[in-house]
Amino acid sequence: MRRCSALLISLILAISAQANDASSPPSKPIKQASASAKEEASAPKEKEKETRKSSKEKESKESKDAAKDAMAADELAVKIAERLALLRKEKDDVARASTRAVARSPAYVAPVRKVTPAKPKEGSEHGSSAIIAAMGGHGAVHWSYDGEGGPTNWGKLNSANAKCDIGDRQSPIDIRDGIRVDLEPINFDYKPSGFNVIDNGHTIQVNVAAGNYISIMGRNYELLQFHFHKPSEERVNGRSFDMVVHLVHKDADGKLAVVAVLLERGKAQNIVQQIWNNLPLEKNLALAAPTAIDINQLLPEKRDYYTYMGSLTTPPCSEEVLWMVMKETVEISSEQIAIFGRLYPMNARPLQKTAGRLIKESR
């Protein structure tokens, strides 16, 4: 009985187990759930692949852009190099042209040193050639007293010298047949002054400091400089003198007045000796004297004079110059004449035609 009961219980349990198995869901949905889980697990991987692909595409695009930029930079560099080469070629062409121009230019000529007066004075800087001749005595370089540059050719050397040929009031002249009248005395207002001496290639010239004047016919003329000629350029009734000194003055309107002092062989002249003592060793180089000069000592004691209208006696031979030639001579020694003669044996312009000019003299 007990055995039968045990078997019965086992049978019932078996039947119950089969019934439970029959009521349980099939295994296929489980497999589907497993596939869905796999799909969910693989989704991040796909997303990662897409991210990597997008990153590669972006990198590829950036690489292409960089390549394009590099190509553009190379093209720009080529263009810059071509432009620089063109500029260098143009520069070389200009340099070659400049070299050819320099090769054709005349040889360099050193400038002539200018003379500085003892002390600058108002109005002593003169631009016109006529005033330069008065100031410098003989500042031109193309004329002389003999040869091709001599007086007969002065007017042909430069158009500015035309008056030397065609002027009708030229100097010097032979002073004769003047009318004797009571001429106004020349008021000399000279004072001891600084000075320098220059050998300008045509004469010995003395430049004086400002403050020396003459007054005549209501006009004041300031002394600019004085210089020497051998023999005298002027003649009086046909007579020539050993030397002459010309004192050149200018008024506020630029008018010129020249006082001529005739020098005759005799005793030594103190002012002339003072000038000779300060002769420069080189031409066109002014030598400043250490002491002052008193030009009054160069004048004769008697101040009677001849007067006429004339010109400069050197190029450009400008006219409208008031001339006053002192009637009394001043003595100069043979030695002093010889010193000047070693430098300038003859520096006098030939006589010019009087051409009917009025000459007056003190009576």
- Annotated catalytic residues are 202
SS3 content of the chain, % helix, strand, coil (to 5): 40, 20, 40
**Cα-based distances in Å from 195 to 144, 281, 289:** 26, 17, 6
Q: Which of 106, 85, 171, 109 is nearest to 134 (CA)?
A: 171
End-to-end alpha carbon distance in the chain: 207
Cα 230–Cα 342–Cα 266 angle in degrees, nearest 5:
55
| CB count in 10 Å sphere of residue 144 | 18
Q: Are 163 and 155 in contact (CB under 8 A)?
A: yes
How far, in Å, CA of 87 to CA of 66, rounded?
A: 31
Q: Which two tokens stand for residue 202?
A: 């045509």
How far, in Å, CA of 5 to CA of 8, rounded?
A: 5
- Residue 176: exposure state from Cβ atoms within 10 A (0-12, 13-18, ≥19): middle
